[in-house]
Chains A and B, each alone.
Chain A
Amino acid sequence: MAVNTQKMKPILTARLRESLIGYLFILPQFLGFLLFVILPVVSIFYFSFQDRNLLMGTSKFIGLDNYKFMFQSDPYFKKVLTNSLVFMAGLVPANIFLALSLALLLSRKIAGITLFRTLFFSPVITSVAAWIIIWKFMLQNNSGTINQILSLVGITGPNWLNQAPYAMIAAILTLVIKNVGLNTVIFVAAIKDIPEELLEAAKIDGANQGQTIRKIMLPLISPSVLLAVILTVIGALSVFDHIMLLTNGGPQNSTMVLSFYMYFQAFKLYEVGYASALAVVLFLVTLGLTVVQWQLKSKFVYLEE
């Protein structure tokens, strides 16, 4: 069949061609994302309906039994979930409040302030492993540095890592100190983005410093604060390495949190079916809290129109 190529439409329209090039550009990352993020998320739902052993590779469909066990008979689950929520409830407000206070201090234009910013930031770039080794060393019972310093001022410090409420407190405090620098520099950047005229205008109108902070600075940096809150909540709920290295879940499981329990079930007891059900809970709680916070956005976050 003779085809008049002159009259035929180009096989690929310009738009389609551009699309194909676009797909080619995102292909490597998108394929990897599907394989190593999306597929696993779908898989944990699937595995959570199975009795599955990691070592043997055996699997059997058991319906909702993992979830029934979790909510009805697992003696640890309630405690683990409570621990995770306590950890989050302690860590997030402490982190955000301290980060905001530090950001207000560090956004002042005084000599040497960038050095302080870097000092506050230095634990952020340190590995959790190194950070915990140092703190574990300092938090030992009698000979630990912290208790030695406390005894210099006449206080007998607790056995931080082996006494029930103190282990959780130590875990929260050491993680706040480690990570607060990140939110701090994010807030400092947001404060620096506030137009100078706005602050000047407030001063001229007679606003004092507290009013300027509450009425102008905080509303203007609220988008950054919301994002920081969401990411800090996610980080707190999924905390793993920090707990494993500092307390290993102890004493008496008082610091056993959700993702550490999941790790324990999957990689110590090889119960990956049940561990996947726990991962589903972790995923849904994280997702749920993120959505709720996002919904609150319209209430608390000042949006420029």
Chain B
Amino acid sequence: MKNPIPRFRIPVNLPVYILLIMIVLPFIFPFYWMISSSGKTITEIFQYPPTFFPKAWQWTNYSRIFEFQPFLRQYFNSIYITLVVTVSVLIVSSFSGYAFAKIRFYGKNWIFLLMLTGLMMPVEVTIIPNFILMQKLNLINTHVPLLVIPVFGSAGIIGMFIMRQFFLSFPSELADAAKIDGLSTFGIFFKIALPLSKSALSTVAILTFLKVWNSYLEPLIYINDKKLFTLPLALPSFVDSMGGPVYEVQLAATTLSVLPVLIFLFIAQQTIVESFAQSGIKG
């Protein structure tokens, strides 16, 4: 039913908008306050009543970040670890997702169910034995555990599941035709299936990227050296000699780490939000 007079629509929806704006405040105000406070002097931060815009933007808060920690290095660590894990998850999960969808092999359903239990397994349950294993291999305080272990945890399993769902809907006629043309299973996978699965691959990439980028427990237990820190580990460590947080610098560093992700979200909002929505349709 179309409303013939469009100006009547606005008052109808107005209460919804007011409600939405009121509820959304606690979700977005923290980001505004982070950015705004990162430009204030420490006195202005604690001033009462609070100022909503910094009186004079303090760029020194940002330059002081690098006096506390090797922040660029830590930024780079986060980026490269996240990229390596994401690419690894894409590789292993597209292979296994394809197998579970399109290849017949003995024990397939049992293996699939077993791997799905990995979805329900909190990383806290497996962390102690994995730490002991890495300790035995002399890999503590290196990036190796952060590059390898998350690939096979829930991120990889979710990836496998999403790829499987995608390949299940993939028309078998295409593969059959390719088989008749003499393509092997590998050939079909690389030349036909993968090039057509860009949307599923991007979903897996987005979910994995954000999970790894934000992970805290694993870097916390495997890494001691500040030069090897990732961003989530570095942010809480902007402290003075008494161990109290240096708020203006800490908030500046937090802004630098959060803002790119937020910008990315707003540029690709449709794709990102859909990716997460899809991760919940598992039944």
Residues of chain A touching chain B, judged by Cβ–Cβ distance below 8 Å, are: 15, 18-23, 25-26, 28-30, 32-33, 35-41, 43-44, 47, 54, 57, 102, 105, 108, 110-112, 114, 116-138, 143, 145, 148, 152, 177, 181-183, 185-186, 188-190, 223-224, 226-228, 230-231, 234-235, 237-238, 240-241, 245, 259, 262-263, 266-267, 272, 275-276, 279, 282-283, 286-287, 290
Contact = CB atoms under 8 A, between A and B. Distances in A.
18 contacts: A19-B105, A44-B129, A114-B273, A116-B24, A125-B214, A125-B265, A125-B272, A127-B213, A127-B235, A128-B232, A185-B273, A224-B280, A238-B123, A263-B127, A276-B129, A282-B122, A286-B122, A290-B120
B250 A122 contact: no
B128 interface: yes
Contact of B280 (A35, A119, A228, A266): A228
Contacts of B251: 133-134, 137
Given A116-B24, A121-B273, A122-B31, A25 B95 contact: yes
A45 to B, nearest CB: 10
Given A22-B99, A130-B258, A190 B126 contact: no
Contacts of B282: 227
> Main SS of the interface on chain A?
helix
B265 A25 contact: no
B33 A134 contact: yes
Interface centre among B31, B129, B131, by most chain A C-beta atoms within 10 angstroms, is B129
A35 B152 contact: yes
Interface stretch (B12-20, B55-63, B194-202): B12-20
Nearest to A137: B247
Contact of B156 (A32, A137, A282): A32
Contact of B30 (A102, A121, A138, A152): A138
Contacts of A238: 122-125
Interface string B1-35: 00000000000010011011001101110110110
B48 A130 contact: no
Contacts, number: 282
Interface in B118-162: 118, 120-133, 135, 148-149, 151-153, 156-157, 160
A34 to B, nearest CB: 9
B129 A122 contact: no
B260 to A, nearest CB: 11
Interface in B263-283: 265-266, 269-270, 272-274, 276-283
Contacts of A36: 126, 130, 148-149, 152-153
B132 A272 contact: yes
A149 B171 CA distance: 58
Contact of A133 (B221, B236, B277): B236
Given A22-B108, A224-B281, A234-B120, A129 B96 contact: no
Contacts of B153: 36-37
